[in-house]
Structure 1
């Protein structure tokens, strides 16, 4: 059975104005991602990887082109509507863990799911068990190691059972062994939920562990 296409990016373009010139970052990007598929987005620094991820997440608006998420044209939505899609249907994981310092691990894990009205206690318990966080629920982020914080960030992103998990260099602050462990857990949980998984990484080794790799060069998929 062929999986449904979850994400479609068509002819996406984005430029930024510098003090000296108009800098074209994306120059007509096309990309598709199926439900349950994991894709690594690679490319040299400045090739537009993070920009593409931010546009898909609705954190910025493209100059031209289309982004479709499960039949919804995200690129055509207002700022508030894109924020609602990001809250309710997307899981975001970044190199900086972005946990809420004043909340304990258990509340950090549940935060997005609760504000999205998608909290599922049984799924929360499964995430806690799979991520090895049961003994850490009463701790605050500052009391955790980098690997533990990234596990919490992944759990928070997956707690809403998103359509799409977007990760921007999620293992960049971790040592190799911890990075392998965290990414393995992310892949397993993505497979468990059937969501799509798009990860920006500079590591060819980690990229090779995903279903497919796409390379971004000079603002285009090559």
Structure 2
């Protein structure tokens, strides 16, 4: 006699551990008037291949949260675990290694190296991490529509082209986590939408987790989950 699984049986299946876990994250900044709390106990998880939009008013702490998750700053307290490594316990040297090898970051300001060509900018982080893959860079170049621009320098590119290079550079290392801080903030709406479509396609191709801070409800709606940072804590949207 066959036995059909009950919902309880199905729910008992083990879930994959999240690639990113943030627990009780707190951060404040010192001023002459005293400490100003920015994050008051932030908790969330993000699985490999999943995307999460972080929204909130200007000054709500979105960039602060991304800097902490990206191992660019120290939290006052709390835990950040990326790919099984507790980032909040690492030395600065170890955090630099995590940034090179496991985290790709795309900023509102493109932050390309002016003296390097498009091709050299694309491979910069991957070479630093010792993970340069010529075939993957060629695929990124074509998928981002940069094949005809490889010999150009950043000053010879439009804003949308520069942001495509920045996305390619971040993904060339095949990171576990892609962070984007207002990645289309310097672009017009149509160009920003195209750049976001490319980013989402490449995130799907690599299977990395994607955390994006944005003030745009339209762009946030394109990601799988949305949360709002308000008064230093997260609330689901």
Q: Which residue of 2 aligns with 1:186?
A: 199
RMSD: 0.9
Distance 1:194 1:66 in 2: 24
Instruction: Work out the CA distance in 2 between the residues paired with 1:120 and 1:111.
Output: 11
2:17 aligned with 1:36: no
Aligned match of 1:56 in 63, 66, 69? Answer: 69
Normalised by the size of structure 1, how large is the TM-score? Answer: 0.98
Q: Secondary structure at the match of 1:214?
A: strand
Kindly state the Cα deviation for residue 3 of structure 1 after the two structures are TM-superposed: 5.0
1:46-66, CA deviations, whole angstroms, 9 ceiling, x for partnerless residues? Answer: 111100000001110000000
Residue matched to 1:120: 133
Aligned partner of 2:230 among 199, 203, 217: 217
Say which of 87, 91, 95 aligns to 1:74. 87
Contact 1:3 1:36 in 2 (8 A): no
Q: Tell which structure's C-alpha radius of gyration is larger.
A: 2
Distance 2:136 2:170 in 1: 12
TM-score by length of 2: 0.92
1:158 Cα offset (Å)? 0.1
Query: Paired residue for 2:39, among 14, 22, 26?
Result: 26
> Any runs of at least 4 consecutive aligned residues in structure 1 with deviations exceeding 6 A, and if so which?
none
Q: Which residue of 92, 98, 101 maps to 2:105?
A: 92
Distance, in Å, in 1 between the alignment partners of 2:148 and 2:80 is: 40
> Which of 193, 209, 212 is the aligned partner of 1:196?
209
Task: Specify which of 205, 210, 213 is matched with residue 218 of structure 2.
Answer: 205
Q: How many residues align?
A: 222
